[in-house]
Amino acid sequence: MTELWVVIAIAIVLLVTVIAIYNGIISRANAAERAWANVITQERQKNKIIPHLEDVVKDYKAFEQSTLTQVTELRSALQGLDANKIDTAQLEKTEARTGQLLKSLNITVENYPELKASESYQKLMKEITDQQDNIGAAIRIFNQNVEDFNNGIETFPNSWVNGLLNKKVKIKTFSDSEAQEGFDYKPNF
Amino acid sequence: MFYRGNNQALITQLKRLQHESASVSDISGFERLMDSVKQFPGSYQFHYRSYWVSLAMIAMVGAALTFYDWQRLQHMQGSSWLLVAVSVAALLLVLGLMIYPWQLLRSVSARLLQQDALLDNGIKPVSFHSPALTRELLSRFNEFHRGNYRREVKALYQGRFDGDEYAFDYRYLHFHYVDERIVIETYTNSKGQVRTRRRKVYDHYDRYALIMPFQFVRDVAVVSFANSLLSGSTYKPASNRFNERFRVIAGDELTAAKTMKPTVVVALEEVGELLSKPNLEFNGSADLCLSFADNDMIKTPSKVTLSDFTAFIEAIEGQQSFAKLQRTLQSIHYLMTKLDNNF
C-alpha cells in the first residue's frame, strides 16, 4: 500500500513539474512575442516622423530628390514588418534602410548650412535620435526575452517537455548585420 | 601621563584636528586645517616599542611570580589567582594604551578624507531638525512610510549635478526606521513545565535616498523593495528582466505606459544592476525620490591614514570621486533626457 502512495506522490510531483515547465515555456514565448510587438510599435513611429522630414527638406530640391528615394524604401520596409510574426530578417532590412537614410541625410545636409542650423531640423534630428534610441532599447529587450525563451526550451528537462508538448522552435535574435560586416571575427555558432 | 615625547604630541594634534574638523564647512576652512596637518613638527608614526617592551615584561614578571607562588604549594591558591588577575589587567591596560592612538589616527584620517571627498564632489552637509524633516518627507513620498516604531533622518547632504542638458540640485539623506514586532517564545520553567511568553523585538533598517526636482513625470513609482502604501494601476513593460526586479505603479496605466519607453526600461534595468533594492518614486509635484539600500554612495574609497603621510597628502590633494553617486546621477540625467517629451 505504501509503495502505491509513493508511486502516486512521484507521479503528482512529475505532473506538477511538467505543467510548470509547459506554462513557463508559454509565458516566455508570449514575452518574446510582446517584446517583438514593442519593437514593431517603435519602428512604426518612424511613419510619424517621415512626413516631418519631408516637410523640412521640401524647399531643398536636390536634397529632396536624394532623400525621397530612400524614404520610399524605408516606408516599404516598414510595411513589411508584421507585429504578429517574428521576422528578424525584415527588421534587419528596415534598420539598414534607416541607417542609409540617416547617413545620407548627414552627408547631404553639409551642403545646406542654413538647413543644418535651423531649429526645425535640429528638433527633427533629436526626435530621430530619440526614436532610434528607443528602437535600439526595444531590440535589446527583445533579444533578452528571446534568450530567456531559447534557454527555456533548450535546457533539460525543458527540452524534453518542449519536444513532447509545446513543440516551440528556437527564435533567432536580432543582429545588426551592418555592424557585423565591420568585424573580421565570426563566432563559430 | 601614559604618553611621552612624539606620542603625546601626536595625540594632542589628532584631538585638535578632530575638534577643528567638526567646524569646517568650506574649502578654505579645510585648506587651513590641512595646513596645520602639514605643519605638525613631529611624526604621524606612533612609536610602539616601549609598549611592546612593557607588554613583554608584564607577561614575564606575572608568569614568573605566578609560577613561584604555585611552586610553593603545588596548586593554584588565592594569591596565585590575584597575581594572574593583576597581570592580565596590566596587559589589557597597555594594550588599550596602544589601541587608543591607533584608533584615533584612523578615525581622524577617515574624517579628513571624507570631508575632502565631499568638498571635491561639491557636497555639503546640511543641518536639520530630524522630526520636522521626517514629517516633510512623509508628506511628500510614500517611500518613507516605513517603520511602525520609529523613523528618523540621520544625515542630510546637499549637492548639484550639471549634465549636458539638465542641471539639478539634489539632497542625499540617510533614513533610519525601526519595526516593532511581538514574538511568542516557548521556554521550560524551573518546574519543568513548557510555557510561552510574548516578547517585543525591534528590527532596525536603513535606507538612503536622493531627492530632486524631476519635472517630467508625476505619480509613477518603480519599486523593487515593496512599500505597502503605494497603490494605483500596475503596469508591466515587455522586458522579462525588468519585470523580475521591478513593479510599476502609477496613477493611471496610460501615464505608466508613456513613461516606460524602451530606453527608460533599459536605463532602469541598469539602475537595478547598480543599486541594491532601488525604488524610484515620482510624486505629484514631479519630484523624484530614488531610494536604495547601499550605504557607500558618498563614502570615500580611500583607506590611507596619516601614518602614511605622503600617500595621505596625495589622496587629499588629488580628486576623490564617488563613482557610484556619479553613475546614479548620470542615470537620472539620462532618464530626464528620455522623458522630457519635447515632441
Residue A150 cell numbers, joined: 531559447
Backbone angles phi, psi at B124, to 5 degrees: -115, 135
Q: Do B342 and A123 touch (CB under 8 A)?
A: yes
The angle at the Cα of B26, spanning B24 to B31, to the nearest 5 degrees, equals 80
In chain A, residues with a C-beta closer than 8 Å to the C-beta of B263 are 130, 133-134, 136-137
- For B200, counting Cβ atoms within 10 Å of its Cβ (0-12 exposed, 13-18 middle, 19+ buried), the class is exposed
**Segment A143-176, tens digit of pLDDT:** 999 999 999 999 999 999 998 898 888 888 887 7
Residue B238 cell numbers, joined: 515587455
Percent above pLDDT 90 for chain A = 30
pLDDT score of A129: 86
pLDDT-based confidence at B285, cuts 50/70/90? very high
Integer Cα distance of B104 and B12 in angstroms: 11
Percent above pLDDT 90 for chain B = 58
Which of B263, B269, B341, B342 best tests the A interface by mutation, with the highest count of A CBs <10 A?
A: B263
- How many residues are given for chain B? 343
Whether the Cβ atoms of residue B266 and residue A140 lie closer than 8 Å to each other:
yes
Q: Do A28 and B239 touch (CB under 8 A)?
A: no
**Segment B295-311, tens digit of pLDDT:** 999 998 888 999 898 99
Could you state, in order of their start, the residue ranges of all structural domains in chain A? Answer: 2-165
Q: Is the peptide bond before A157 cis (omega within 30 degrees of 0)?
A: yes
pLDDT score of B343: 42
Q: Do A137 and B241 touch (CB under 8 A)?
A: no
A to B CB pairs, distance under 8 Å: 51
Q: Do B262 and A42 touch (CB under 8 A)?
A: yes
**Segment B42-73, tens digit of pLDDT:** 888 888 888 889 889 998 988 888 888 777 77
- For B26, counting Cβ atoms within 10 Å of its Cβ (0-12 exposed, 13-18 middle, 19+ buried), the class is exposed
Whether the Cβ atoms of residue A81 and residue A40 lie closer than 8 Å to each other:
yes
DSSP string covering A23-36, please?
A: HHHHHHHHHHHHHH
For residue B181, how far is the Cα from the chain centroid? 25
Task: Give the SS3 label for residue B201.
Answer: strand
pLDDT score of B148: 92
Residue keyed to cell 536604495: B292
- Positions of chain A with pLDDT lower than 70, given as ranges: 61-64, 177-189
Q: Do A144 and B239 touch (CB under 8 A)?
A: yes
Pairing between strand B233-235 and B247-250? antiparallel
**Segment B144-173, tens digit of pLDDT:** 999 999 999 999 999 999 999 999 999 999
In angstroms, what separates the C-alpha of A180 from chain B's closest C-alpha?
A: 23
pLDDT-based confidence at B342, cuts 50/70/90? very low
Mean pLDDT of B99-107: 91
Minimum Cα–Cα distance from A128: chain B residue = B343
B277: alpha, beta or left, given left = phi > 0 and alpha = psi -120 to 50? Answer: left
Whether the Cβ atoms of residue B222 and residue B248 lie closer than 8 Å to each other:
yes
Residue A157 cell numbers, joined: 528537462
Residue A111 cell numbers, joined: 551642403
Of residues B265, B338, B343, nearest to A141 (C-beta): B265
Minimum Cα–Cα distance from A135: chain B residue = B262
pLDDT score of B259: 92
Of residues A37, A130, A137, nearest to B266 (C-beta): A137
Strand ranges (DSSP E) for B270-312? 279-282, 287-292
Whether the Cβ atoms of residue B252 and residue B229 lie closer than 8 Å to each other:
no
Could you state, in order of their start, the residue ranges of all structural domains in chain B? Answer: 5-120, 124-177+208-339
Integer Cα distance of B44 and B308 in angstroms: 8
Integer Cα distance of B280 and A174 in angstroms: 31
Which residue, among B281, B144, B146, has the nearest Cα to B221 in the 3D structure? Answer: B281
Integer Cα distance of B172 and B208 in angstroms: 7
Mean pLDDT of B93-102: 90
Largest CA distance in chain A: 91
For residue B44, how far is the Cα from the chain centroid? 27
Integer Cα distance of A114 and A109 in angstroms: 9
Tell me, what amino acid is at B333?
A: H
> Please, what is the end-to-end C-alpha distance for chain B in angstroms?
75
Tell me, what amino acid is at B37?
A: V
Residue B339 cell numbers, joined: 522623458
In angstroms, what separates the C-alpha of B269 from chain A's closest C-alpha?
A: 10
In angstroms, what separates the C-alpha of A42 from chain B's closest C-alpha?
A: 9
